[in-house]
């Protein structure tokens, strides 16, 4: 009788451990802090909006392109860099943009390695996105190729959904 109880307890413990492992995000997942209006609390991993560009790169970690200057961004000077690996010929898994003072203004997440606090990532369906965020989410742009859902106003998060697939293509945490 005692052996049977201990076997049941061991089996229960193993089942609980397997459930915990299955519910834990994969290694390498980087958290996106997308909610709120305070840019100093919003960002990716340990990096935050309005932080120095180079510091943000170090805090996120990984291999980066050098910080490049772009003078053709809506008549403003901006700096940007991309985190490897590339997800397409023109997009990196994470792109960081900063203003002329090299203070971060946006993080563009293009990979499922980045997950929001509510579990949304690139590849999440539009239906799940709406379920997770509910009334906090509003449709801002309803284009022919992409829909943009937003949380917040000038400081906030955008979820770009590709209409043809119905899935999140990009997550942008930003302050303008």
Q: What is the pTM of this model?
A: 0.79
Q: State the Cα–Cα distance between residues 123 and 93, nearest whole angstrom.
A: 13
Q: Reply yes or no on domain 2-175 having CATH 3.40.50.720.
A: no
Of 94, 137, 135, which Cα lies nearest the Cα of 112?
94
Alpha-carbon gap, residue 18 to 158, rounded angstroms: 35
* Span 69-93, pLDDT tens digits: 887 766 677 888 898 888 888 789 9
| Whole-number Å distance between alpha carbons of 100 and 106 | 13
12 CB-contact burial (10 Å; exposed 0-12 / middle 13-18 / buried 19+): exposed
Instruction: Assess whether pLDDT exceeds 70 at residue 9.
Output: no
Q: What 8-state DSSP symbol labels residue 136?
A: G
For residue 63, give the DSSP letter.
-
At residue 89, the pLDDT reads 80
Q: What is the pLDDT of residue 7?
A: 58
CA–CA separation, 156 vs 30, rounded Å? 18
Instruction: Give how far Cα 14 sits from Cα of 3, 18, 27, 115, Å.
Output: 16, 6, 21, 28
CA quadruple 121, 122, 126, 127: dihedral sign? negative
**How many beta carbons lie within 10 A of that of residue 48, not counting itself?**
21
Beta bridge partners of 173: 107, 157
105 has a pLDDT exceeding 70 = yes
Q: Which residue carries 């742009």 as its tokens?
A: 141
pLDDT at 124: 97
Q: Name the residue ranges covered by the structural domains of the chain.
A: 2-175
- Asked whether the beta carbons of 59 and 53 are under 8 A apart, the reply is no
Q: How many helices (H) and strands (E) does the chain have?
A: 3, 12
């Amino acid at each position: 009788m005692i052996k049977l109880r201990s076997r049941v307890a061991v089996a229960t413990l193993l089942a609980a451990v397997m459930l915990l492992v299955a519910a834990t995000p994969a290694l390498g997942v980087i958290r996106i802090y997308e909610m709120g209006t305070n840019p100093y609390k919003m960002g990716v991993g340990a990096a935050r909006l309005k932080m120095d560009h180079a510091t943000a790169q170090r805090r996120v970690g990984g291999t980066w392109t050098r910080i490049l200057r772009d003078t053709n961004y809506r008549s403003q000077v901006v700096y940007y860099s991309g985190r490897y690996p590339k997800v397409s010929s023109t997009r990196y898994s994470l792109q960081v943009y900063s203003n002329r003072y090299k203070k971060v203004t946006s993080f563009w997440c293009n990979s499922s390695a980045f997950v929001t606090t509510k579990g949304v990532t690139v590849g999440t369906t539009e239906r799940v996105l709406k379920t997770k965020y509910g009334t906090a989410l509003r449709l801002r742009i309803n284009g022919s190729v992409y829909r943009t859902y937003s949380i917040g106003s000038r400081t906030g998060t955008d979820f770009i959904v590709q209409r043809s697939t119905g899935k999140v293509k990009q997550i942008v945490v930003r302050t303008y």
